[in-house]
Amino acid sequence: MKKIILTLFACFVLITAFGQSAPKPYGPLPTKGQLQWQETEMYCIIHFGPDTYTDKEWGYGDEDPMIVNPTQFNAMQIVGAAKAGGFKGIIVVAKHHDGFCMWPTKTTEHNISKSPYENGKGDIVREYRDACNRLGMKMGIYCSPWDRNSPLYGKPEYVTDVYRKQLAELYSNYGPLFIVWHDGANGGDGYYGGARETRTIDRSTYYGWNETWGIARKLQPNAAIFGDVGPDVRWVGNEKGQAGETCWAAYTPHAPDSGKMPGNGYVKDYEGTEGHRDGKYWIPAECDIPLRPGWFYHQSQDEKVKSPDSLFNLYYKSVGRGACLDLGLSPDRRGLLSDNDVKSLKDFGWQLKQTFSKNLAKGATLTASNVRGGNLQKFGPAHLLDNDRYSYWATDDRIKTPQLILDLHQKKLFNVIRLRENIKLGQRIEEVAIDTWQNGKWQQIATATSIGGNRLIRLPKKVTTNKVRMRITKSPVCIALSDFGLYSEVRIPRPVLDTP
C-alpha cells in the first residue's frame, strides 16, 4: 500500500513538474535588441539635408554647406507628428549619400558647422535626441556608407578613418539607439573631393562589415542592426512598404558569408519579402516606404502625400505580417513637416488607436482543446487576452493542431483578427483557420500563415457572431500563442457632401 502511495505521489510530482516546464524553443530565436525592435512596430526615417534645398534625391557630394539653412527647424514638430501617427520611434538620417553630416563631426569639414544654421553651432542629431527624450520616442541612426563627398571614398582609409569614426561618434554621443540602419546603395559617380569620377567598391568586402557592425555591438548593444540581408533586421526587398502574405522572421542570407555574423550578400527580392521557413537566423523584415513619393522634400509632391487610408493598408501589409513599418518623413526647407503630412499622420494615428484600443474578445469564455500539463494558470488560454506578448497558451508537446472556442456571450461585429506568438520560443505556427458560428454551424471565414510576432487578418467585410473558433491547422511543434484579438476597424468620418 505504502509503495502504491509512493508511486502515485511520484507520478503526481512528475506530472506537475512536466506541466510547469515551458515548451522547447523552435528554430532561431530573437535577441533582446530584436525583441525590442519587434515591439516598436512602426517608426519614421527622416530625410533632411542638402537634397532638401537642391530638390534632388541623391546629392552628388559637391553641395555648398551654405544652402542648408532652415529658418524654423523644429524637431519637436517633426517627432511630435510621428508620435501622433502612432509611431514609436524615429531614425535620423545623419548623413546621406552626399556625405553632408548633420552633426558637427570631427571626421570631415563637410558638416552642419559650415552652414549658417545656428551660426555654425547647430547639431540636428542632438535636436532630434532631445525631442525624442521629451516625447518618449525611441531613436535610431542612418549614416550612409556611400559618401560621394569624401576624397577617400573607395580607399581603405575611408572605412577606417572616416566611416567607422562617424559611426563611433554617433553611437557614443546621442544616447541609446534602438536601430542602426545601413543603406544598400553603394558606389558610383560622385564629387569625391573634386575628382568627379566613378568609384565602384565590392560592397560585400569593402566595409569590413563584421568589424563595422562590431562598433554598434560594443557601443549600442541593444540596437538592432539593419542591412539588406541582416544581421538583425533584413530589408523586405521593395520600397512599397509590403511584406509577403506569408512572411517568416527566419532567414538565411545568400551570402559570401564572412564569419560569425550573417549578411554581406545579395538577395533575390522575394526572399526578403517572405523569408525562409527553415532559415538559419532570426532576421525579420523591415518595410520602408516614404510618406510622399520621394524620401526628401519636393514641393511638387505636396499633393501626393499618402492618405490615412493608404497608410492603414500599409500597416496591415507590414506590421500585420510580422514586419516593422519604416515610414519616410521629409521636412521642408523651413525645417518643418508641411500641413498635409502632419494631417495625414494625425488621422492615421487616430484610426489606428480607435481600431485597436478595444479587443472585442475581452470577456469571452475560452475553451481550449488542450492545455499544457493541464496547467491553466501557467499555460491556459486566458493569457491570450492579457495584452502581454510573452505570456501564452501552450499545448502538450504532442498536440500541434489544437482548437480554441471563444464564446463572446453576445453578438459582436468585427473585421480584424490579431494573433501573436510568444516569439521568445520562436516562430512556430504555420497555418490557422478561423470560423464563426453562423445559423447553427461553424463557417470558415479566414485562414492565415506564418503567425510570429504579429499577424493581422483583415476580413473583406465586417462579420457578426457570438462564437468564434480558431483551429491551428499546421505546426511542426506544440504551440505558444500569446495573443488573440478581435477588432472593428474605425475610419475617419468623411465630410458629407451636399448632393446637387
Contacting positions for ligand FUL (CB under 6 A) = 45, 57, 183-185, 288, 295
> What is the closest distance, in whole angstroms, from the C-beta atom of residue 262 to ligand FUL in the complex?
20
Say which residues have a Cβ less than 8 Å from residue 496's Cβ, sequence separation at least 6: none
Cis, peptide link before residue 104, omega less than 30° from 0:
no
Q: Which of 243/385 has CB closer to ligand FUL?
A: 243
Q: Which of 154/290 has CB closer to ligand FUL?
A: 290
217 three-state secondary structure? helix
> What is the closest distance, in whole angstroms, from the C-beta atom of residue 286 to ligand FUL in the complex?
10
Say which residues have a Cβ less than 8 Å from residue 342's Cβ, sequence separation at least 6: 77, 81, 84
Q: Which of 79/329 has CB closer to ligand FUL?
A: 329
Q: Which of 187/262 has CB closer to ligand FUL?
A: 187
Q: Which of 25/184 has CB closer to ligand FUL?
A: 184
CA nearest to 260, candidates 224, 231, 282, 229? 231
Count of CB atoms within 10 A of residue 313's CB?
16
> What is the closest distance, in whole angstroms, from the C-beta atom of residue 428 to ligand FUL in the complex?
32
Q: How far is Cα 147 from Cα 186, in angstroms, rounded to an integer? A: 8
CA nearest to 43, candidates 184, 179, 176, 175? 179
> What is the closest distance, in whole angstroms, from the C-beta atom of residue 46 to ligand FUL in the complex?
10
> What is the closest distance, in whole angstroms, from the C-beta atom of residue 288 to ligand FUL in the complex?
5
Which residue type sits at 459? L
Our CA angle for 476, 283, 102, nearest 5°, is 160
**C-alpha cell recorded at residue 355:** 481600431
> What is the closest distance, in whole angstroms, from the C-beta atom of residue 452 to ligand FUL in the complex?
24
Nearest residue to ligand FUL, by Cβ distance, number only: 185
> What is the closest distance, in whole angstroms, from the C-beta atom of residue 389 to ligand FUL in the complex?
28
Q: How far is Cα 470 from Cα 468, in angstroms, rounded to an integer? A: 7
Our CA angle for 330, 336, 342, nearest 5°, is 75
Q: How far is Cα 162 from Cα 253, in angstroms, rounded to an integer? A: 28
CA nearest to 429, candidates 464, 387, 477, 463? 477
Strands 224-227 and 233-235 turn out to be: parallel
Q: Which of 238/310 has CB closer to ligand FUL?
A: 238
Q: Which of 117/181 has CB closer to ligand FUL?
A: 181
Q: Which of 238/354 has CB closer to ligand FUL?
A: 238
> What is the closest distance, in whole angstroms, from the C-beta atom of residue 464 to ligand FUL in the complex?
43
> What is the closest distance, in whole angstroms, from the C-beta atom of residue 51 to ligand FUL in the complex?
8
344 three-state secondary structure? helix
> What is the closest distance, in whole angstroms, from the C-beta atom of residue 437 to ligand FUL in the complex?
46
Kindly state the DSSP code that residue 114 receives in the 8-state scheme: G
Residues 74, 76, 79, 80, CA torsion sign: negative
Q: Which of 49/65 has CB closer to ligand FUL?
A: 49
**C-alpha cell recorded at residue 396:** 502538450
Give the CB-side neighbour count of residue 373, counting CA atoms within 13 A.
Answer: 17
Q: Which of 317/467 has CB closer to ligand FUL?
A: 317
Q: How far is Cα 244 from Cα 450, in angstroms, rounded to an integer? A: 10
Q: Which of 295/315 has CB closer to ligand FUL?
A: 295
> What is the closest distance, in whole angstroms, from the C-beta atom of residue 295 to ligand FUL in the complex?
4
Say which residues have a Cβ less than 8 Å from residue 312's Cβ, sequence separation at least 6: 348, 351, 352, 489, 491
Strands 455-474 and 431-438 turn out to be: antiparallel
